[in-house]
Amino acid sequence: MTGQDLKAVKALNETSESLSFSKREKHLVGLAVTLTLGCTVCSNRRFKDALEDGITKQELIELTDFVALTNAGVVSRTALSSWDEETEQKCTDGTCSVS
């Protein structure tokens, strides 16, 4: 079985093809997502594809820095909010804990 056998992958591909984003925008957004998820295989492929389609190495470095800073900001804000006693809430659906 391959990813192309899955209906979800087919639906993702169809949606991606119909978006009004430019090829460049799709490269940059896709790379930001794979970097955030930490997938080195996908990120490596996306880096190569972006370079082949004319995105410069400097632009990819700047994107990487931007993604790293954005994720650091999210982590910092989440941690600060988590320590704030005024926002203390209970997680009742099990999504906030590893069991």
**Contact status, residue 69 vs residue 60, Cβ threshold 8 Å:** no
Neighbours of 42 (CB within 10 A): 15
**Contact status, residue 34 vs residue 42, Cβ threshold 8 Å:** yes
* Cα–Cα dist 76/13, whole Å: 34
Average pLDDT, the chain: 85
Q: How confident is the model at residue 93 (pLDDT cuts 50, 70, 90)?
A: confident
* Cα–Cα dist 79/74, whole Å: 9
Among 21, 45, 23, 20, smallest CA distance to 35 is for: 45
Higher pLDDT, 46 or 82: 46
Q: How many domains does the chain have?
A: 1
76: in domain? no
Q: Residue 63, Cα to own-chain centre: how many angstroms?
A: 12
Q: What is the pLDDT of residues 47-88, one digit of tens each?
A: 999 999 999 999 999 999 999 999 999 889 888 887 775 655
Q: How confident is the model at residue 1 (pLDDT cuts 50, 70, 90)?
A: confident
Residue with tokens 């906030």: 96
Domain with 41 in it: what CATH number?
Answer: 1.20.1290.10
28: in domain? yes
**Contact status, residue 43 vs residue 34, Cβ threshold 8 Å:** yes
Higher pLDDT, 36 or 9: 36
